[in-house]
Structure 1
Amino acid sequence: MNMVSKIAKSPVAPSVGALLAEARLARGYSLDDVAETTGLTVAEVTALENDVDFDASRIRRTASALGILEKI
């Protein structure tokens, strides 16, 4: 098997937004729940989950609230 074949079959790492959304849903939290806990707006949380906002402070705050900071 050549290197290109190995690369093509490698799983793609999920995005930060996907990790945040997955953690939120796994915990049964709504966007409102996360917004209230983090002090962000629902629009800001949505932007993070959709990989539109890459603000490191917001990402850390949200990941911490969801208990996944070590995965980010």
Structure 2
Amino acid sequence: MTYSQSDYENAHLSELPANVRGEIFRQIRTEKGYSLEDLAETCGLTASEILGVEAGDIANPSYVTRIAHALGLVAP
């Protein structure tokens, strides 16, 4: 399924299943041309932590907020 930035903006992070939230992050990251390493450097996480969030395996609220901000999204 394809998600857009508006899908993210119209939902609270806590209301999204971790795998959906992760897929939205992955799509926005790739649309912006960021590699995992680029995003990791920007938000202060490791590439494997970001990969875990994108896969829905990691739901740490701090990680989610840092990734959202690094992607230019406002974490509700």
- When normalised by structure 1's length, the TM-score is 0.74
Query: Deviation at 1:31?
Result: 0.2
RMSD: 1.7
Query: Deviation at 1:69?
Result: 2.7
Q: Distance in 2 between matches of 1:66 and 1:35?
A: 11
Residues 1:20 and 2:19 are matched in the alignment: no
Question: Where in structure 1 do 4 or more consecutive aligned residues deviate above 4 Å?
Answer: none
For the pair shown, the structure with the greater C-alpha radius of gyration is 1
Structure 2 unmatched ranges of 5 or more: 1-15
Residues 1:67 and 2:75 are matched in the alignment: no
Query: Deviation at 1:51?
Result: 0.3
1:7 paired residue number? none
Q: Distance in 1 between matches of 2:39 and 2:71?
A: 8
Query: Deviation at 1:68?
Result: 2.1
Q: Distance in 2 between matches of 1:50 and 1:69?
A: 21
Q: Is the 8 A contact 1:23 1:68 kept in 2?
A: no
Structure 1 unmatched ranges of 5 or more: 1-12
Aligned length: 59
Percent identity (aligned): 36
